[in-house]
Amino acid sequence: MPSRKLLTAIAAPAVLTLASVAPALGGTQAGTASAAPAKAASSQAPRPNLVFVMADDLGWADLSSGLPNGGYANDYNETPQLDRLAAEGQSFTEAYASVQCSPTRTALHTGQYATRPTNNTYAVSGIAGLPSDPLLGAPHGRPEDGRSAVPVGYPTVGETLQGAGYATGYSGKFHVAGSAAEIVASHGFDENWGGSQNSHATYYFATNDQFNDSVSPSLDQFAADYTQDYVDENIAPYSHGVSDAQLDALVGTDKHVTDAQTDAAIDFIDRSKDEPFFAFVSEFAPHFPVNDAQARSDLLAKYRAKAPGSAPAKPSYAALTEAVDQSVARIVDYLETTPDPRNGGKPLADNTLVIFTSDNGGEEDPIDAGAYNGPLREDKGFMYEGGVRVPWIVWSGGSDLVRGGGRTNETIVNSTDLYTTLASYAQAELPAGVPLDGVDLKPAFSKGTTINRDHFHHVPGYVRFGGQVQSRPFSSVRDGRWKLYYEYTDGSFELYDLKADLGETTDLAADRPGQVHRLGQKLIAWLDETDAPLATLRQGQPPRVIEDVSGETYANGTITRRRGETITVTAGQPVPFVLPRP
């Protein structure tokens, strides 16, 4: 393996602890109880290091391994390092994010569903809709300024780990903050390299050793042009199917943001390895813009010369995706070749948990993106499986942290689970009085246990991209093989058997009213438990009359049981969830 040049470090800001956060928020604890950290026996390894890597807009079927996606391996993109992690680690084939990146990221940091008032992020921007839409989306964003951002003062996963003695570092896209300064001052990270309130990198390369203003200038320390030593040590060892001449041609050219944020992450890990660390590596790629000008030249040349397979072939997208794979390769290589000063000089990898995922379904638009979700229905922004299902891989060099060997697990995973799971591994005390919606996945990661749980999603408004309506107000629940959707614009249900119909092609709602009602009861109970807000009838719309309602309705935070009643919804009133008796 290559030697690694130490990168110049800057002083880290003061560490925040839970004591510096605003008083605990009200509510009941959901999923996992708050408990004092257990004391590890002296014979055990010290508390593990934690590395979380998240690609941006990577599709469910974009990896060349079939393990994370039910066998739908991509035959055009090449991701050898992630394939290796899947083969040695454990893949979760039923993992979910949200319809867009902002709600996913807010859920990761808060451990809460979007329905909680201390989350309240449903899309990248507002969900009110247009004047022509019949419903008005619910208020959206954090209470202090309406941004799609984590509330200042909320005890995030970063702060919880800080309070447990972890060094915390953030590299790459953050998005759900009011400013770059908030990431360190309010959201639990000792250091931040490149993260800000911006939604994506509008240009992937540095110019004159600086990235443009879509990337925080904190990353500019790593923006210097490629040198021969850099290429030989940090790119060549992880390249496949690229000639020496193509690698040498990088020397003297502008640094790609994926390489720069990887430099920052490894530098942070190197400086923090004397204590337990949490590295959150949030890749900018392969989010649009996806075109030849955004791809590193060696990888772009490789894919231009490659014959397409059965998966969609877009050279620039494949090049951005393989660059993310190389980022993971560099981080894992460092972990495997660096002695751990806290663990008797064994490799850092032996006591480090690595998680890889994406922030939402891939965007399949061939002009702007180029992702592939395989057989799943629709893509980013849509309520169906293609919009929300993501790859999820866990790996460690230590078998006590991850039960691996290429195992796949059908546990339903949600973004809210990261908080409770990392806190469990870190033996960190959860914030008292804060409702956390995540499940502790440590038994699944470390033992291969399948955890039975339901998954919910709720968007009380409109999700649009480029003027197109992707999702109207909806709620959904996943329970085992079944998934139920409810659309508020017309009060309709859709039911799919995902085991028999992964592509959601056959709506079974009319044929299985009993199943609709069973799942509907779970969904209405969850809406009530989380006090989910609803869209309202827009001003100027005629009253909506729902006749002969026998069953249950949810609105205004209350479930009402009805017998043959007529409901009239006037402008400004919430449009209820209506669950008829079968």
Q: Give per-residue pLDDT as tens, 516-557.
A: 999 999 999 999 999 999 999 999 999 999 999 999 999 999
Q: How confident is the model at residue 27 (pLDDT cuts 50, 70, 90)?
A: very low
Find the mean pLDDT for residues 34-47.
52
pLDDT at 7 over 50: no
Q: Which helix (H) or strand (E) holds 354?
A: strand 352-358
**Considering Cα of 415, then 419, then 421, then 425, what sign does the dihedral take?**
positive
The total number of residues written for the chain in this structure: 582
Find the mean pLDDT for residues 153-159.
97
Asked if residue 82 lies in contact with residue 89, where contact means CB atoms within 8 angstroms, the answer is: no
Cα 382 off chain centre by: 16
Nearest C-alpha neighbor of 268 from the set 13, 550, 561, 515: 13
Burial class (CB in 10 A: 0-12, 13-18, 19+), 536: buried
Find the mean pLDDT for residues 78-84.
98
Residue labelled with tokens 């839970």: 18
Work out the end-to-end distance of the chain between its first and last CA atoms, rounded to an integer number of angstroms: 64
* Spatial separation of the C-alpha atoms in residues 169 and 189, rounded to whole Å: 5
Cα 452 off chain centre by: 21
At the fourth CATH level, the homologous superfamily of domain 18-457 is Alkaline Phosphatase, subunit A (3.40.720.10)
Nearest C-alpha neighbor of 297 from the set 370, 236, 239, 247: 247
510 Cβ neighbours under 8 A, 6+ residues apart: none
Asked if residue 371 lies in contact with residue 363, where contact means CB atoms within 8 angstroms, the answer is: yes
Assign 220 to helix, strand or coil.
Answer: helix
Find the mean pLDDT for residues 416-440.
98
Find the mean pLDDT for residues 485-513.
98
Find the mean pLDDT for residues 322-347.
98
Find the mean pLDDT for residues 360-378.
91
49-55 and 277-282 beta bridge pairing: parallel
pLDDT at 40: 37
Burial pattern 507-525, b for ≥16 Cβ within 10 A else e, equals ebbeebbebbbbbbeebbe
Q: How confident is the model at residue 117 (pLDDT cuts 50, 70, 90)?
A: very high
Assign 355 to helix, strand or coil.
Answer: strand
pLDDT at 38: 37
Residue 192, strand partner residues: 170
Cα 396 off chain centre by: 20
Q: How confident is the model at residue 200 (pLDDT cuts 50, 70, 90)?
A: very high
Cα–Cα distances in angstroms (integers) from residue 88 to residues 246, 329, 402, 405, 443, in the given order:
31, 14, 10, 5, 18
Residue labelled with tokens 């409770």: 420
CATH number of this structure's domain 473-580: 3.30.1120.10
Q: How many helices (H) and strands (E) does the chain have?
A: 13, 22
Domain boundaries, the chain: 18-457, 473-580
Assign 459 to helix, strand or coil.
Answer: strand
Cα–Cα distances in angstroms (integers) from residue 236 to residues 75, 232, 289, 558, in the given order:
23, 5, 26, 60
pLDDT at 15 over 50: no
pLDDT at 243 over 50: yes
Q: Count other Cβ atoms within 10 Å, centred on residue 489.
A: 14
pLDDT at 6 over 90: no
Residue labelled with tokens 């006590």: 400
Alpha helices in 338-454 (DSSP H): 385-388, 417-426, 442-447
Q: What percent of the chain has pLDDT over 70?
A: 92
Asked if residue 191 lies in contact with residue 169, where contact means CB atoms within 8 angstroms, the answer is: yes
Q: How confident is the model at residue 467 (pLDDT cuts 50, 70, 90)?
A: confident
Residue 403: both structure tokens together: 């039960």
* Spatial separation of the C-alpha atoms in residues 175 and 138, rounded to whole Å: 21
* Spatial separation of the C-alpha atoms in residues 376 and 276, rounded to whole Å: 39
Tens of pLDDT, residues 249-278: 999 999 999 999 999 999 999 999 999 999
pLDDT at 61: 98
Asked if residue 159 lies in contact with residue 17, where contact means CB atoms within 8 angstroms, the answer is: yes
Q: Which residue has the higher pLDDT, 582 or 23?
A: 582
Q: Which helix (H) or strand (E) holds 182?
A: helix 180-185
DSSP classification of residue 210:
B
Q: How confident is the model at residue 466 (pLDDT cuts 50, 70, 90)?
A: confident
Gyration radius of the chain over CA positions: 23
pLDDT at 16 over 70: no
Q: Count other Cβ atoms within 10 Å, centred on residue 207.
A: 11
| Residues taking part in catalysis | 101, 175
